[in-house]
Amino acid sequence: MTALREATLPTTVGEIEIRRGGSGGECPLVYLHSAQGEGAAMALLEDLADRGEVAAPVFPGFGASQGLEKIDDIEDASFHLLDVLDRLGFAQVDLLGLSLGGWMAAELATRWPDRIRRLVLVNAVGLYVDGAPITEIFGRALDELADELFADPDHPVAQMMRALAQADANPGAIPFELVRPVIQAQAATAKLGWNPYLHNPKLKARLGRISAPALVVHGRHDGIVPRAHAEAYVAGIADAHLADLDAAAHMATLECPAEIAALVHSHLQG
C-alpha cells in the first residue's frame, strides 16, 4: 500500500497539517476526517492512494493545524476548505468525508458544486431529522462512546478509548500527551457543532444544489447517527444511492477499510 507523507500547508487561517500520497487517477481524492481526527496511517487512504492521488487535510484545532480561533461556524469551515483546495491547485476533486467530515463535504458540494466531481458521505452528520436525533457526544465518557463508535469492541482505537476513560478515574496513570488530542478534537468539534447540535438548519434545503453523483454509506451498528440521516441525504441529492455496511458502526473507515475502498473505487469509476 502507498504510505501517505506528512507535510504542512499555509492557509488564510494559519498553517495546517496535510497528508498526501499516490499519483495519477482521473481526479484527486480529498478525505475529510471525523470529530475523532483519525490520522493518515489509515489503511483506507493507503489503499485509495494505490489508485490515484489522495490528500487528507487536518482541520484547524486537530493535531498541529492552526487557525481554529478564526473559524466560528460551518460557513467559515467551508471557506477554509475551499482555500485548501485552491492552494493545492485542485480545480475539481472527488470528496470523501466521515461524520463531521461528511457534513463539511456536503456543505462544500452545495456551495461550489462545480468543484466536486464525485461525493462520498460516510455516516455524515449535518442534518436535523425529526424523530431521529444524533446521539450526544460532548461530555460523554469515552468508554461509552467507544461502544457507539465501534461495532468491534476489540478494535485498537476502542481499546484506547477505554484505557483513557480509566485514566480519568486515576489522573497521572496515562501521560497527558496521550489525552491532549482527545480534548483538542472535542473542543474543535464543539466550535462547529455545539449549537445547533451537529447540523446546519439550512443544509437540507440546499442538498438539491449538489450536482455530483453521491454515494452515501451507513454503518448498520452506528450508535451516533441513525440511518434516517443517510436516507435524508439520499432523498435530497439528485443523484445519490445508499450502501449499508453490516460490520461497521460510526467509525466505518477504520473498521471496514477494504469494504469502503471497494465501494469508493467503484463509485469513482462510475
Q: Provide the 3-class DSSP secondary structure of residue 81.
A: helix
Per-residue pLDDT, 183:
79
CB 237 within 8 A of CB 210: yes
CA proximity to 260, closest of 102, 91, 90: 102
Q: Output the CA–CA distances (angstroms, integers) from residue 117 to 12, 225, 264, in the order listed.
A: 25, 26, 13
Q: For each of the chain's 270 residues, which pLDDT tens digit applies?
A: 788 999 999 999 999 999 999 998 789 999 999 999 987 658 999 999 999 999 999 999 999 999 999 999 999 999 999 999 999 999 999 999 999 999 999 999 999 999 999 999 999 999 999 999 999 999 888 889 999 999 999 998 888 888 877 766 565 555 555 567 777 888 899 999 999 999 999 999 999 999 999 999 999 999 999 999 999 999 999 999 999 999 999 999 999 999 999 999 999 998
Phi, psi at residue 22, to the nearest 5°?
A: 80, 175
Query: Phi/psi zone of residue 114: left (φ > 0), alpha (ψ -120 to 50 degrees), beta?
Result: alpha
Specify the CATH number of the domain 5-269.
Answer: 3.40.50.1820
Long-range pairs for 149-155: beta carbons < 8 A, 24 or more residues apart: 149/36, 149/223, 149/224, 149/249, 149/250, 149/251, 150/249, 150/250, 150/251, 150/254, 150/255, 151/219, 151/221, 151/247, 151/248, 151/249, 151/255, 152/247, 152/255, 155/251, 155/254, 155/255
